[in-house]
Amino acid sequence: MARTRIKCASCGGRIHDHEPDLILRDLENGGRPRYFHTRCGEAAYTAVTENPSAYLLTVRHVEEVAN
């Protein structure tokens, strides 16, 4: 099943199915996940390091066996 067109929360560019990405979930506010290119992930890493109990950061790999 194909994913819907997902855009990077940092640069606004489309994240293609063949690209790995970062998924940032806000656990305190129950908000929708934000997606980032791996190259644009500095904002996601910063949010997690400032408040690690509030966020869950997941890396989605292209190969299914790596997930």
Q: Which residues span the domain enclosing 29?
A: 6-66
User: CA 45 to CA 19: how far, in whole Å?
Assistant: 18
- Positive or negative: CA dihedral 9, 42, 54, 15: positive
Instruction: Determine the pLDDT at residue 66.
Output: 62
Q: Is residue 46 part of a domain?
A: yes
Per-residue pLDDT of the chain (67 residues; tens, 9 = 90+): 556 789 999 999 999 988 999 999 998 888 789 999 999 999 899 989 998 889 999 998 887 666 5
Q: Is residue 19 part of a domain?
A: yes
Instruction: Please give the tally of structural domains in the chain.
Output: 1
Q: Is residue 57 part of a domain?
A: yes
Instruction: Determine the pLDDT at residue 65.
Output: 67
Q: Is residue 1 part of a domain?
A: no
